[in-house]
């Protein structure tokens, strides 16, 4: 046997017996000094880290982003000095993770649920994360509501049983979500695979050019493989046989060298209030109309390498909206700011204080920081600079120094407003929901009504009434069809058992002893 094939402990000791624990006699009892067994079992006991509080079910791959050097017909430098976009044909390595939102780590990938679309680019200026979803909008526009929304979308905390009433109870009191619900209950609510879905940054960011001038920007990923969605019936059929079809599809396509690609587009808007629009440009429940704000291609992403180890490469990957590089900035979008706190906060809990030292999360350029210690600190002592005694800044004695050269902050607006907790002044909760409904093809509309009616028929009548009212506000026909759909479903349900219909055969008298 070759040396490299020999099993060792984590201390590097060869393991001679990996089958039997040490006991007094061959039947037991066991002894406490059995180091190999205790190390093995106690490490196993700690194998799982907390799953993500949202987006727990996911998969991902590595690849690269390649620049076009332009944003549409303009040189991209007109809008941003971010080096990750400059020049044509430049490649930046990346990791991407796709996910569902509400389900647990091993839940079916056929859920009617938005899909996460997170990308971490290891740029020459440090990491850039774009943490998006497949749909281009979101349910809520204020971060304050996120924990309640997620509680409502997950199972009943007492019984652990999911029920659509929870989601619609919340949604019926949150009219800003009607647009997102319209997409989610249409066939766009269940992407067929991760390879065949779009991605979007959803929130509004800023791009900053060399002169410090900023524009608002929205990002969109468009799959070159085309877009494919599942109807509820399709999804049910897939789920009956496979709860990991999307992970399998992505992994096997890369294995076959059919590398999935997405083109990255941006929409650009001058920074400002834009009184001419009937919505707030920072409101993430709204689409920016394509005719006014055309999609400008800026590059493409190719995924060409599967993870070597799912836990190391994907489960421990940490994406966040605060991870921007020079040439990018936050917009005033208050939802984005709420998100930005939440990601790194949860990652310190989920993975640990030093999560940024893990290979998948660390930038590909050198890190020189005085942020030190904490559990599992793995900084390389050789990288502590010329004077390893100085772990503070500023200093005349050594240590790391601030970058020289002109600091080039983006031009920021001057604010003149009182501190307040208040909703935005242009909510327009129904306008785009109605437009989206009218733009669906006939079959998509039928699916939408059918899916909504199915879910709403199981809800309290007060919730049904409130939802019909919201849909009517969006489009009269939309409300009318949902109402008729619910009535129809209730008729069909009348007489049928309320309990879930679970088949099973009686096994008769136990042949295996009482109680088995």
Q: Give strand pairing partners of 120.
A: 95, 129
- Residues contacting ligand HEM: total by CB under 6 A: 28
Q: How far apart are CA 52 and CA 65, in angstroms?
A: 26
> Which of 339, 410, 429, 486 lies at the binding interface for ligand HEM (CB under 6 A)?
339
CB atoms within 10 A of CB 393: 11
Q: Which long-range contacts (CB under 8 A, 24 or more apart) does 84-88 make?
A: 84/121, 84/123, 84/124, 84/125, 84/128, 84/325, 84/327, 85/298, 85/299, 85/327
338 belongs to the binding site for ligand HEM (CB under 6 A): yes
Task: Provide, rounded to whole angstroms, the least separation between the CB of residue 207 and ligand HEM.
Answer: 18
3-state helix/strand/coil string of 66-129 = EECCEECCEEHHHCCCCHHHCCCCCEEEEEEEEEECCCCCCCCCCCCCCEEEEEEEEECCEEEE
347 belongs to the binding site for ligand HEM (CB under 6 A): yes
Task: Provide, rounded to whole angstroms, the least separation between the CB of residue 29 and ligand HEM.
Answer: 42
Based on the residue annotation, tell me whether 133 is a catalytic residue of this protein: yes
Task: Provide, rounded to whole angstroms, the least separation between the CB of residue 321 and ligand HEM.
Answer: 8
Based on the residue annotation, tell me whether 306 is a catalytic residue of this protein: no
Choose one: 219-227, 234-242, 248-256, 336-344; the region binding ligand HEM (CB under 6 A): 336-344
| 36 versus 97: smaller Cβ distance to ligand HEM | 97
Choose one: 30-38, 112-120, 266-274, 366-374; the region binding ligand HEM (CB under 6 A): 112-120
Which listed residue (13, 34, 127, 133) is catalytic? 133
- Candidates 333, 373, 297; CA nearest to 216 is 333
> Which of 305, 334, 350, 465 lies at the binding interface for ligand HEM (CB under 6 A)?
350
Helix extents (H) in 195-260: 232-241, 245-255
Q: Map the footprint of ligand HEM across residues 116-135, applying CB under 6 A.
A: 116-118, 131-133
Q: How far apart are CA 499 and CA 42, in angstroms?
A: 42
Residue with tokens 């009617």: 112
Choose one: 27-35, 300-308, 341-349, 401-409; the region binding ligand HEM (CB under 6 A): 341-349
Query: 315: helix, coil or strand?
Result: helix
**Cα–chain center distance at 363:** 20
| 65 versus 138: smaller Cβ distance to ligand HEM | 138
Which tokens hold the place of 196?
A: 């065949």
184, 80 in Cβ contact below 8 A? no
331 belongs to the binding site for ligand HEM (CB under 6 A): no
Q: Map the footprint of ligand HEM across residues 133-162, applying CB under 6 A.
A: 133, 138, 143, 146
352 belongs to the binding site for ligand HEM (CB under 6 A): no
Q: How far apart are CA 427 and CA 281, in angstroms?
A: 11
- Candidates 347, 284, 342; CA nearest to 49 is 347
| 36 versus 55: smaller Cβ distance to ligand HEM | 55
- The mark string for 51-90 relative to ligand HEM (x by CB under 6 A, - otherwise) is -xxxx--x--------------------------------
- The mark string for 14-53 relative to ligand HEM (x by CB under 6 A, - otherwise) is --------------------------------------xx
178, 170 in Cβ contact below 8 A? no
CB atoms within 10 A of CB 162: 15
Render 337-363 in DSSP notation, one character per residue.
HHHHHHHHHHHHHHT-TTGGGSTTTS-
Q: Map the footprint of ligand HEM across residues 260-279, applying CB under 6 A.
A: none
Q: Map the footprint of ligand HEM across residues 304-323, applying CB under 6 A.
A: 317-319
Q: Active-site residues: which are they?
A: 55, 133
User: Applying CB under 6 A, which residues contact ligand HEM?
Assistant: 52-55, 58, 97, 99, 116-118, 131-133, 138, 143, 146, 202, 317-319, 335, 338-339, 342-343, 346-347, 350
């Amino acid at each position: 046997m070759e040396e490299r094939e020999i099993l060792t402990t984590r201390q590097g000791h060869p393991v001679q017996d990996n089958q039997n624990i040490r006991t007094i006699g061959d039947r037991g009892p066991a002894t406490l000094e059995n180091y190999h067994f205790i190390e093995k079992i106690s490490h196993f006991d700690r194998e799982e880290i907390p799953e993500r509080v949202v987006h727990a079910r996911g998969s991902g791959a590595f690849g690269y982003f390649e620049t076009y050097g332009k944003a549409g017909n303009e040189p991209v430098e007109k809008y941003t000095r971010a080096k990750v976009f400059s020049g044509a044909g430049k490649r930046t390595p990346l990791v991407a993770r796709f996910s569902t939102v509400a389900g647990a780590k091993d839940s079916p990938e056929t859920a009617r649920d938005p899909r996460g679309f997170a990308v971490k680019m290891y740029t020459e200026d440090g990491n850039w994360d774009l943490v998006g979803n497949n749909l281009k909008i979101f349910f809520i526009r204020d971060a304050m509501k996120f924990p309640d929304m997620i509680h409502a979308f997950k199972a009943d905390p007492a019984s652990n049983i999911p029920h659509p009433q929870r989601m619609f109870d919340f949604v019926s009191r949150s009219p800003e979500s009607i647009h997102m619900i319209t997409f989610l209950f249409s066939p766009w609510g269940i992407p067929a695979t991760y390879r065949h879905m779009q991605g979007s940054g959803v929130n509004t960011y800023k791009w900053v050019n060399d002169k410090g001038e900023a524009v608002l920007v929205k990002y969109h990923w468009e799959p070159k493989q085309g877009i494919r969605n599942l109807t509820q019936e399709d999804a049910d059929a897939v789920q009956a046989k496979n709860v990991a079809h999307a992970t399998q599809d992505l992994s096997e396509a890369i294995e076959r060298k059919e590398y999935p690609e997405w083109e990255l587009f941006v929409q650009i808007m001058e920074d400002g209030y834009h009184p001419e629009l009937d919505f707030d440009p920072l409101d993430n429940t709204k689409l920016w109309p394509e005719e006014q704000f055309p999609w400008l291609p800026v590059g493409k992403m190719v995924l060409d390498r599967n993870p070597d180890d799912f836990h190391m490469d994907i489960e421990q990957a940490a994406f966040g909206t605060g991870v921007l590089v020079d040439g990018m900035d936050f917009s005033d979008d208050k939802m984005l700011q709420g998100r930005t706190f939440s990601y790194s906060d949860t990652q310190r809990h989920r993975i640990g204080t030093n999560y940024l030292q893990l290979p998948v999360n660390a930038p590909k350029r050198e890190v020189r920081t005085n942020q030190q210690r904490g559990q599992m600190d793995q900084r390389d002592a050789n990288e502590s600079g010329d004077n390893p005694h100085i772990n503070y800044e500023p200093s005349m004695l050594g240590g790391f120094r601030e970058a020289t050269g002109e600091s080039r902050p983006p031009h920021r607006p001057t604010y003149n407003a009182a501190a307040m907790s208040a909703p935005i002044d242009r909510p327009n909760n129904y306008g785009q929901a109605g437009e989206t409904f009218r733009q669906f093809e006939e079959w998509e509309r039928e699916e939408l009504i059918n899916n909504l009616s199915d879910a709403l028929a199981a809800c309290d009548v007060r919730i049904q009434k409130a939802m019909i009212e919201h849909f009517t506000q969006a489009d009269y026909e939309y409300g009318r069809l949902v109402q008729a759909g619910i009535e129809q479903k209730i008729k069909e349900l009348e007489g049928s058992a309320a309990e879930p219909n679970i088949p099973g055969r009686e096994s008769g008298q136990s042949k295996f002893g009482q109680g088995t």
